[in-house]
């Protein structure tokens, strides 16, 4: 088996001269679960549609299992796809929906019957074969769509927001089922989502897309802990931004000295910065604490605006002396009570938990 299931090389797609996908390079290993994550309109579906062969790229090459498929029609690409809206055939039974891809491929009837039963069993829908999609719940329809894609035994499965129409509980269940299936069957999966929690939970690697480009690629830990740009820091998880000005610039990945309301701080800058540049210090709500700590690089003072109680944690909104609003996340460990609203508080964060990014224009 080829080491790489999917390779995208310089892949672009323009709509009316505007790039929807802009020179993407991406390699997905065989058996990997890769997620494309990004805001609406960043080019996720367009990328999947090119891999599936539903859209022709304007530039670049797609290789599947080491072989260029640029001239291969969709049905010969050995790819399964689960669409954003399931796209089940309403007039067909569940079994016929699942059988569809096999009939298209002219598989013999007895084998179709066997494989459809197998696929329905895989998604826990044995006994539902005779029903129409209308007579199923959203989660069951979702699983029919999954069975229909799996039954052709694709080497690559593309999933476009497969869980977006489900309620939270079901979404978490299906999420688990998909990852279990993926490991058991060894299928390479590329999933599109704009739910960052989902991306963090299921992916071997996450490609964070912005305006048709891949802005960062890495495992959940690295994209969350080490965002390489303000966009990624903002998109993955929650981030506080405290404004400042660069005193001493640096190359990408170096330390720079920044003047902020917390004084002069020397902090890591993932991207190059020049003296005088307007910047923002990024710090996660769970890395800010109510304290003055001698070892903390960043110390702010402010006033508590409000608490948002969320069960397992509380988000406290604090207006700093210079007027930024930051959020402090405190886990519910049943410990000391939080400061009251309108109290003056001190906030602290370690240097290792802060990053400096260019402020948005
Ligand atoms: N057939 C089309 N004709 C013209 N523009 C298109 C077409 N399909 C997509 N676009 C545009 O290309 C860009 C990328 O669209 P795409 O569907 O890939 O986004 P997406 O990342 O999947 O977004 P979402 O999260 O909303 O599904 C968008 O600006 C969209 O309006
Ligand atoms: Mg889409």
Please tell me the residue having the least CA distance from ligand 1 atom 3: 15
Interatomic CA distance for residues 163 and 143, integer angstroms: 10
Mark out the alpha helices in 8-93 (DSSP H runs). Answer: 44-52
Cβ contact 270:355 at 8 Å = yes
Place of tokens 């405290």: 242
C-alpha distances (whole Å) from 203 to each of 31, 116, 123, 175 are: 11, 28, 20, 11
Residues at CB less than 6 angstroms from ligand 1:
15, 20, 38, 40-46, 194
Task: Give, for ligand 1, the residue of 13, 15, 165, 195 to mutate: max count of ligand atoms closer than 8 Å to Cβ.
Answer: 15
Nearest listed ligand to the Cα of residue 37: 1
| Bridging pattern class, strands 289-290 and 325-331 | unpaired
Please tell me the residue having the least CA distance from ligand 1 atom 5: 15
> What domains appear along the chain, each with residue ranges and CATH number?
4-230 (3.40.50.300), 238-358 (2.40.50.140)
What is the C-alpha end-to-end distance of the chain, expressed in Å?
48
- Tokens coding 313: 């944690």
pLDDT tens for the chain, residues 1 to 361: 678 999 999 999 999 999 999 999 999 999 999 999 999 999 999 999 999 999 999 999 999 999 999 999 988 888 988 887 778 899 999 999 999 989 988 999 999 999 999 899 888 899 999 999 999 988 888 889 989 988 988 889 999 988 877 778 878 888 888 888 888 888 999 999 888 888 998 999 999 999 999 999 999 999 999 999 999 999 999 999 999 999 999 999 999 999 999 899 999 999 999 999 999 999 999 999 998 777 778 899 999 999 999 999 999 999 999 999 999 999 998 877 889 999 999 999 999 999 999 999 8
Interatomic CA distance for residues 263 and 22, integer angstroms: 40
Expressed in angstroms and rounded, the spacing between residue 192 Cα and the centre of ligand 2 is 7
Interatomic CA distance for residues 162 and 288, integer angstroms: 35
Cβ contact 326:300 at 8 Å = yes
C-alpha distances (whole Å) from 98 to each of 57, 74, 112, 117 are: 29, 18, 9, 9
Of ligand 1's listed atoms, the one at least distance from the Cα of 47 is 18
C-alpha distances (whole Å) from 23 to each of 132, 212, 213, 359 are: 42, 8, 7, 26
Interatomic CA distance for residues 226 and 350, integer angstroms: 15
């Amino acid at each position: 088996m080829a080491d790489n299931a999917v390779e995208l090389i310089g892949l672009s797609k323009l709509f009316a001269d505007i790039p929807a996908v802009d020179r993407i390079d991406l390699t997905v290993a065989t058996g990997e679960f890769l997620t494309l994550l990004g805001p609406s309109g960043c080019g996720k579906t367009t990328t999947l549609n090119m891999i599936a062969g539903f859209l022709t790229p304007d530039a670049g090459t797609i290789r599947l299992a080491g072989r260029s498929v640029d001239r291969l029609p969709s049905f010969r690409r050995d790819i399964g796809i689960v669409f954003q809206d399931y796209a089940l055939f309403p007039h067909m039974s569940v079994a016929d929906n699942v059988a569809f891809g096999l009939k298209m491929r002219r598989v013999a009837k007895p084998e179709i019957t066997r494989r459809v039963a197998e696929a329905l069993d895989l998604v826990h829908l044995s006994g539902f074969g005779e029903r129409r999609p209308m007579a199923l719940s959203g989660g069951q329809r979702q699983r029919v769509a999954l069975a229909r894609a799996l039954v052709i035994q694709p080497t690559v499965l593309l999933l476009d927001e497969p869980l977006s129409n489900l309620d939270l509980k079901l979404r978490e269940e299906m999420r688990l089922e998909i990852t279990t299936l993926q490991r058991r069957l060894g299928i390479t999966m590329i999933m599109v989502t704009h739910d960052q929690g989902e991306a963090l939970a299921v992916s071997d690697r996450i490609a964070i897309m912005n305006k048709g480009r891949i802005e960062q690629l890495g495992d959940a830990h690295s994209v969350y802990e080490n965002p390489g740009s303000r966009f990624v820091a903002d998109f993955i998880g929650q981030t506080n931004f405290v404004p400042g000005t660069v005193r001493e610039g640096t190359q990408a990945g170096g330390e720079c000295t920044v003047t902020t309301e917390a004084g002069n701080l020397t902090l890591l800058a993932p991207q190059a910065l020049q003296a005088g540049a307007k910047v923002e210090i990024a710090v996660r709500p769970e890395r800010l604490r109510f304290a003055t700590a001698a070892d903390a690089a960043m110390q702010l003072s402010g006033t508590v605006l409000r608490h948002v109680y969320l069960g397992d944690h509380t988000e406290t909104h604090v207006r700093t002396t210079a007027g930024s609003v930051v959020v402090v996340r405190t886990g519910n460990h049943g410990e000391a009570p939080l400061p009251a609203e309108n109290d003056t508080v001190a906030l602290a964060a370690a240097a290792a938990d802060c990053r400096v990014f260019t402020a948005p224009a």
